Chain A
Amino acid sequence: MSVRILHVEDNSANRMIVRDLLEFEGFEVIEVMDGEEALPATERERPDLILMDIQLPRISGLEASRRIKSREDLRRIPIIAVTSFALSGDDQKAAAVGCDAYIAKPYRPRELLQLIKKLLPSDQR
């Protein structure tokens, strides 16, 4: 069974890059386009890792992360916060709601891949 990654992102180009990269690397990618869909998708799909954009329409990525991390059964799923708004404090805010890592746009695809592999349990890498 391949590793499944939930990508929460409203920008279709970015969704496409991540999907192309991760599928190329052998991961399965599930995509939702806003924060409100993030929690139901997580419940439904039970991904191995969540890539959460912070700037999202309706519910922000931070709020979505907070909700997921407040659920006992979902808490263990690692979340990588992705932001393009690189003002100081974004990393702290992400850490505060329970995110496990943080990456700023624009990132090199290789960087993202390394970060994902670092967070996955060793048997799934």
Chain B
Amino acid sequence: MDAITDLSSRRVSGGADAKSTATSSAIFGPEQRGGIVRRYFLVFATLVGGSLILSLLVELGFRYIETRKDLETVHHQMAELAALRIQNYVDGIAQELRMAAAPPQLTDHRLTDEYAFNLRNLIKDEPAIRDVVAIGLDGREQLRESRIAPSVPNAGIDHSSELSFSAARAGKTYFGPVNFPPDSLEPRIIISVPIEAFPGDVVGVLAAEVNVRYAWDVVKGIHIGESGYAYVVSSAGILVAHPDLQLVLQHKDLSDLPQVAALRVPGSGESGTGFYKNLSGQHVLVAYQRIPNIGWTVLVERPLLEAYAPALISLGRTGGIMLIACILAVVAAVRLGRRVVSPIEALREGAGRLEAGDLDARLHLNTGDEFEELADDFNRMAARLQEAHAGLERKVAERTQALEHSLNEVRALGDTIQAVSASLDLQKVLRTIVVHATELSGSDAGLIYEFEENAQIFRFRAGHLLRPEFISTLEAVPPTLRNSIIGRAAVAAEPQNISNLSDAGPHTILAFNTLLLAEGYRSVLAIPTTRNADLIGGIILVRRGVGGYSAGEVDLLRTFANGCSIAIEHARLFLEVGQKNTALQLASQHKSQFLASMSHELRTPMNAILGFTDLISEGVYGALDERLRKPVEQLQINGQHLLRLINDVLDLAKIEAGRLDLNLGEYNVDEILEALQATATPLAQAKNLTLHVSSDSKIGDCYGDSKRIFQVLLNIIGNAIKFTKHGGVEIAVAALDTEVHYTIRDSGVGIPAENLMSIFEEFGRGDPTIAKEFAGTGLGLAIAKQFVTMHGGRIWAESKLNVGSTFHVVVPQRVVAPGVSRQ
């Protein structure tokens, strides 16, 4: 089980390797150099640098949170302390006021001199109090003690509407807002307390103007770090105390400062911290603490940079260490990468050289590890490749040579075949064959012989590279089947291959061979050429050197011999065909001439026969005996028929001989129709048939051979009358574009459909039985068709048996170029 798993996993990993090899060739392009180094670097940097940076960030985060908490705590404690001190101070003064306001001397609801003395002591004891005023319930000043002015109560002033009075009169201690009197630069507040005769019995109000410069003293004493400071603002946002006294004296309104504005937002707590910008725009950490009674707030601010400076320095140190660690990791990664990559690079470079065709490429790696083994494998592979390549090149060279040779053979054969098929000139073909056969086989000369069956000798037909004198000798002494090597080859029906004529052997007795030997030839190859077992001749090839011909050469030359026999047979056939063709042409010509002269020779006796018959019937030789009238009439009728036949044959012969031309001229259709009517009416009347001719006035002047058109139409009408027993014949004509369309309709016996085409052929009459009944030459329609065709027209027929036939003749109204009767 384990083995199987192992195997499969190895296979998988092998596949992955193959894949990575395949892709690496694509990745390791020239611009991708050092890819592995980069990859190693990335891995190391990610592992080492990443963890370092992560710990740094975590450290930073924790350090920041801790530092901030510490800082906030410290700052807040500072603010709280300051607030407490200020509150204690103000509360202390308020306490002193209360003590002074409710002395045991206060009796009878009147403020005595002793009370005034008390107040004077108060001022004396408490330097922060500037003035103190005792106010009666009516709001009028009753006593006034001042540190700087005469202590005379200003009875004219009514304090009853003041908040300090009303609050204190209600039994509370009142802390007034900060104000800056015009004669002093120090902030003051009014603190008022009730004057009670005994607890709960308010008899007046004691109000003191208190210098709160003490708050400055407190604030001034607060130092946080190097540049941290504290300050106090009133509930209205006016600066009450600040280390920079100047700012306080300016009654700076800080209500726009974000950290001060935040205090006035309802719901903001008694104390808190935050990050803001101070008056000079620095980022600061702010902690505040309210002083509840007097509505002031102590704020402690410290520049962030300074506040976090220790943390930053510590972080910097840590970061530095980590950076060094990172650099070390990178260097290690690069070095390791290089160590792995450089052998791979070498391998890749070697493979590249192999690919580029440098099969001498070898690798020299001395790493002593798997890379060195790989390089050795590579070198072995390159060596094998080099061997295979060399073998391949040799093979390619061989094959190229063979191919070239074959190509030459094919080209030569192609030329030969072309010559055989394209040329009827036998001499030229044989010459082509002997030239190619000689040159392709590297022979010194070649000869072609044709066998003459009658004389039983070989006749020299073509040669190549032969001396003219030698040719004369060869022509003078034609070889026979017995005395020549070609004769031997023919008898044996096998090529005869002699490697050396000078060697003694059966061939030495051959007279022909001695001729060849005398001419200096040693090797001879003779191939007989046969066609369908008939000996046609042979090819002889000779070389001056000894050694004969190889089997391949014999095979090749056999092909030439074959071509040779085909050529000779072709030539013979062509000769035969040519002779036959000439004979045929001559025969055709003879036929036409024969027909023409025959018809001429027939006409002369016909003239005599018809002439005498006419003279007899006209009574030139005396009154005709009644008994002779019928025979003489028959003589006339049959004589006329014979004459028509002769005329028709003559016409056809003339058409065939191309000696009948159309006699073209202007004519009128109506004239033809009138002539037809005049000629055909007696014929129709003789058979009791109607003849109806209708014309078309739209047909204008025509151009053609009117005599021949008349002949054609009369022929058809004559037939129509001939083949009709009842009814009649209708002749109509109509204009058809540029053509004239004649229609001849009869109510005759009709023509079977299968004969409709053949009636226009010579002697192609519809039905032999009918032909017997109706006399006719059988040439009329054939001649009609010829004339119509010569006019460039058409003729056809439609018919229904025992109903009638309709013949159509269409001729151009104006003949352009008269056609030839027959092609």
Which residues of A come within 8 Å of B, CB atoms? 11, 13-14, 16-17, 20-21, 24, 55, 84-88, 105-110
A108 to B615, CA, bound (A): 9
Question: Which of B600, B611, B654 touches A84 (beta carbons < 8 Å)?
Answer: B600
The answer to whether B661 touches A88, judged by C-beta atoms less than 8 angstroms apart, is yes
Given A84-B604, A88-B659, 5 more pairs with CB closer than 8 A? A13-B611, A17-B608, A86-B600, A109-B611, A109-B618
A47 to B621, CA, bound (A): 25
The answer to whether A85 touches B600, judged by C-beta atoms less than 8 angstroms apart, is yes
Chain A residue at smallest Cβ distance from B621: A20
> A13-B605, A14-B604, A84-B603 are known contacts. Are A109 and B614 too (CB-CB below 8 A)?
yes
The answer to whether A17 touches B615, judged by C-beta atoms less than 8 angstroms apart, is yes
The answer to whether B607 touches A20, judged by C-beta atoms less than 8 angstroms apart, is no
Question: Which of B615, B643, B650, B661 touches A20 (beta carbons < 8 Å)?
Answer: B615
For residue B610, CB closer than 8 A to chain A, the reply is yes
> A84-B603, A108-B614 are known contacts. Are A11 and B596 too (CB-CB below 8 A)?
no
For residue B678, CB closer than 8 A to chain A, the reply is no
Interface size range of chain B in the complex: 20 to 34
Whole-angstrom distance from the CB of A17 to the nearest CB of chain B?
Answer: 4
The answer to whether A13 touches B659, judged by C-beta atoms less than 8 angstroms apart, is no
A107 to B607, CA, bound (A): 7
> A84-B600, A84-B603, A86-B650 are known contacts. Are A11 and B659 too (CB-CB below 8 A)?
no
The answer to whether B654 touches A106, judged by C-beta atoms less than 8 angstroms apart, is no
Whole-angstrom distance from the CB of B617 to the nearest CB of chain A?
Answer: 10
> A20-B620, A88-B661 are known contacts. Are A105 and B615 too (CB-CB below 8 A)?
no
Would you mind naming 19 contact pairs between A and B with Cβ atoms under 8 Å apart?
A: A11-B604, A13-B608, A17-B615, A20-B621, A21-B620, A24-B615, A55-B600, A84-B604, A86-B650, A87-B654, A87-B659, A88-B661, A105-B604, A105-B606, A106-B603, A106-B643, A109-B611, A109-B615, A110-B618
Whole-angstrom distance from the CB of B622 to the nearest CB of chain A?
Answer: 10
Whole-angstrom distance from the CB of B592 to the nearest CB of chain A?
Answer: 12
Whole-angstrom distance from the CB of B179 to the nearest CB of chain A?
Answer: 158
A85 to B599, CA, bound (A): 8
Residue among A21, A85, A106 with the highest chain B CB neighbour number at 10 A: A106
Chain B residue at smallest Cβ distance from A107: B607
Whole-angstrom distance from the CB of B482 to the nearest CB of chain A?
Answer: 64
What 5 A-B pairs are tightest by C-beta distance, nearest first?
Answer: A13-B608, A106-B607, A17-B611, A84-B603, A105-B607
Residue among B603, B611, B618 with the highest chain A CB neighbour number at 10 A: B611
Residue among B607, B620, B643 with the highest chain A CB neighbour number at 10 A: B607
Whole-angstrom distance from the CB of A74 to the nearest CB of chain B?
Answer: 27
Interface positions, chain B 375-424, Cβ under 8 Å from A, are none
For residue B660, CB closer than 8 A to chain A, the reply is yes
B611 CB contacts on chain A under 8 angstroms: 13-14, 17, 21, 106-107, 109
B612 CB contacts on chain A under 8 angstroms: 13, 17
The answer to whether A88 touches B603, judged by C-beta atoms less than 8 angstroms apart, is no
B654 CB contacts on chain A under 8 angstroms: 87-88
A88 CB contacts on chain B under 8 angstroms: 654, 659-661, 663
A106 CB contacts on chain B under 8 angstroms: 603, 606-607, 610-611, 643
A55 to B654, CA, bound (A): 19
Whole-angstrom distance from the CB of A67 to the nearest CB of chain B?
Answer: 24
Interface positions, chain B 82-104, Cβ under 8 Å from A, are none
The answer to whether B603 touches A105, judged by C-beta atoms less than 8 angstroms apart, is yes
B621 CB contacts on chain A under 8 angstroms: 20
Whole-angstrom distance from the CB of A78 to the nearest CB of chain B?
Answer: 21
Whole-angstrom distance from the CB of B509 to the nearest CB of chain A?
Answer: 72
B643 CB contacts on chain A under 8 angstroms: 106
Interface positions, chain B 737-762, Cβ under 8 Å from A, are none
Whole-angstrom distance from the CB of A84 to the nearest CB of chain B?
Answer: 4
The answer to whether A11 touches B608, judged by C-beta atoms less than 8 angstroms apart, is yes
Whole-angstrom distance from the CB of B644 to the nearest CB of chain A?
Answer: 11
Interface positions, chain B 616-632, Cβ under 8 Å from A, are 618, 620-621
Q: Mark B633-666, 1 if CB is under 8 A from A, else 0.
A: 0000000000100010010001000011101000
Whole-angstrom distance from the CB of A97 to the nearest CB of chain B?
Answer: 20
Chain A residue at smallest Cβ distance from B659: A87
Interface positions, chain B 573-614, Cβ under 8 Å from A, are 596, 600, 603-608, 610-612, 614
A16 to B607, CA, bound (A): 11
Q: Mark B766-778, 1 if CB is under 8 A from A, else 0.
A: 0000000000000
Whole-angstrom distance from the CB of B203 to the nearest CB of chain A?
Answer: 179
A87 to B611, CA, bound (A): 22
A108 to B643, CA, bound (A): 12
Chain A residue at smallest Cβ distance from B620: A24
Chain A residue at smallest Cβ distance from B610: A106
Chain A residue at smallest Cβ distance from B597: A85
A109 to B620, CA, bound (A): 11
